Chain A
Amino acid sequence: MMCEDCGKNPAKIHMTEIINENEKREYHLCEKCAQEKGFGLVKQHFSLSELLAGITAGQLTKAGQVPDVKCPSCGTTLAQFNTAGRFGCPEDYDAFAEHIRPRLEKYHDATQHVGKTPRRGLRPEGLSERLRALRAQLKQAVEAEAYERAAEIRDELKQLQAPGRAGAREQGRKKSAGD
């Protein structure tokens, strides 16, 4: 089928416009005419390589092109990560999550971890580790003036230090004293 508008190029864009319940209009246009008519969806049928090129371009640190995202915990910016390819702290992964997924997809063909997971039983040593980590994060969040995040951390700290947990810690102390 040729383009119904110019009749010179093969029609590649086929659209049905619904005007009202009983009235429809079909369009069969070539890319050029479709663009001229202002059908902005012409780029719908992108290729994978175009998509990847777009991602790469997005990662180039041309000023203003990279979204202004900053890790609330360590202060690393997305632009810094894009340049160095190295994260500043574990929190970066959350802060930059939507921006790093395409990168992970490209490198690993996946974004979801399916392997081993820590047992995280929060054994006594594990618990004090967690508390320590949270306190450090709280300090960093306050310094970075990320008060919302700071409040979340404070809540988690409170929860971990709640009386119900004390028994576990006490038990742990006895156990390690016996070593």
Chain B
Amino acid sequence: MTVDDLVRRVGDWLSGKGADSDVVISSRARLARNIAAFPFSTRLDDEGKAELENHGRKALEKSKVVGPGMYVDLFEASPLDRRLLVERHLISKEHEQGASHRGVQIGEDERVSIMVGEEDHLRIQVLLPGMAARDAWGRVDAMDTALESHVEYAFHPEFGYLTVCPTNVGTGLRVSVMVHLPALVITQQIDKVFGAVSRLNMAVRGLYGEGTEAVGHFYQISNQASLGKTEDEIVRNIEVVVPQIVQLERAARTALLEKDRARLEDRTWRAYGMLRHARMVTTEEALTMLSALRMGIDMGVIPKVSMDALNELFVFSQPAHLQKMEGRELEAAERDTVRAAYLRRRLEEAERN
């Protein structure tokens, strides 16, 4: 398995299956862990980071927690490969942009990835399609336990698992669920919902995590506190909050359909028309239009495209995916042309099927 293989298939978490997949795209659980034998990344020079990466990588190999897949040396990897892994949600932006020795172990089905040498020495994550927070936590927990026989974690009886940033300390657990909330945005209820969510000590972030914008009405909802609660409680809180948001989004979609069907249909078909015929499309435009199309498909106002095909378009219309498919680097303007051509071609194929 190589990074190039990723553009020849769709990540498992994008399958469009899973519980509540009309609103919930994916569920992720990640654990932050540090190895006691090393200072934190903030105090490691290049040599120390190389040693840490080597140490972490060996522990991963020995423990076999990830199973078949690949290890990507991100210090050696091309910027394009690194970008591709971000678009695929297999590494964080911070890990993409790091300046020294670091890497990522990726499982074959892309459900599992372990970043080595990110802010914390190890970031273990499981990404599953649909609402599956508990399942994701269960898998991460098992991997963590297996790894623990091969590395000694930095742990403190009072503060728990020690992390570089005090916001991750304790369990080191962040559970986040990616949701698609176009109807709540259109009906202007989104701020109210997020106000309620943040009062429940949950955080709302954009598509690619911390500090990113909510393009295409995609949001990540995650626990704020990692200390003072058991992992089970953290998962349970997510399991209580997310279904309520799902219900609100569904209610808003139904209301839109009942009250303003013409506008909803128009919105969907305009998006479809643009994606099917435009000659230049930016990343953001593609996301916005695909978002409108996704809701239209879910509500049955446009029968043409399957959810699987659509999910693929979301990821493959991103810059690194396009350039990988073309097999070369593209200038921004050229990229927009290639993106438009790709979208036209795939939608035409979908129409014929």
Q: B-contacting residues of A (Cβ < 8 Å)?
A: 73-74, 76, 84-90, 93-94, 97, 100, 103-104, 107-120, 123, 125-126, 129-130, 132-133, 136, 140
Contacts and interface: CB of A to CB of B under 8 A. Distances in A.
Interface residues of B, number: 46
28 contacts: A73-B39, A74-B39, A74-B40, A85-B165, A86-B119, A87-B165, A87-B166, A89-B40, A90-B40, A108-B225, A109-B201, A109-B225, A110-B228, A111-B228, A112-B227, A113-B158, A113-B160, A113-B171, A113-B228, A114-B230, A115-B170, A117-B155, A118-B153, A129-B152, A130-B36, A136-B37, A136-B38, A140-B39
Contact of A116 (B43, B141, B156): B141
Nearest to A81: B166
B164 interface: yes
Contact of B43 (A89, A126, A133): A89
Q: Give 3 nearest A-B pairs by CB, closest first.
A: A110-B228, A113-B160, A90-B154
A161 to B, nearest CB: 16
Task: Specify the main secondary structure of chain B where it touches its partner.
Answer: loop
A129 B151 contact: yes
Nearest to B156: A93
Given A93-B159, A94-B156, A100 B166 contact: yes
A15 B224 CA distance: 43
Nearest to B151: A129
Instruction: Give the one of A76, A93, A109 with max B CB within 10 A.
Output: A93
Interface in B199-258: 201, 224-231
Contacts of A140: 39
Instruction: Give the one of B39, B40, B42, B145 with max A CB within 10 A.
Output: B39
Instruction: Give the one of A76, A108, A133 with max B CB within 10 A.
Output: A108
A113 B36 contact: no
A84 B169 contact: no
Interface in B67-123: 119
B37 A125 contact: no
Given A76-B43, A115-B160, 20 more contacts: A86-B40, A86-B164, A86-B165, A87-B42, A87-B162, A87-B164, A87-B165, A89-B39, A90-B162, A107-B167, A107-B225, A109-B228, A112-B227, A113-B158, A117-B155, A119-B145, A129-B36, A129-B37, A129-B152, A132-B37
Contacts of B148: 118-119, 126
B36 A108 contact: no
Interface of B: 34-40, 42-43, 119, 141, 144-145, 148-167, 169-171, 173, 201, 224-231
Given A90-B34, A108-B227, A126-B149, A113 B166 contact: no
A109 B201 CA distance: 10
Contacts of B144: 116
Task: Specify the main secondary structure of chain A where it touches its partner.
Answer: loop
Given A100-B166, A108-B228, A115 B171 contact: yes
A88 B39 contact: yes
B227 A87 contact: no
Contacts of A118: 148, 152-153, 155
B124 to A, nearest CB: 13
Nearest to A119: B148
B55 to A, nearest CB: 9
Contacts of B151: 125, 129
A11 B150 CA distance: 66
B225 A113 contact: no
B39 A111 contact: no
Contacts of A88: 39-40, 42-43
A88 B158 CA distance: 18
B110 to A, nearest CB: 25
A130 B42 CA distance: 21
Nearest to A73: B39
B164 A113 contact: no
Given A118-B153, A126-B152, A111 B43 contact: no
Contacts of A84: 42
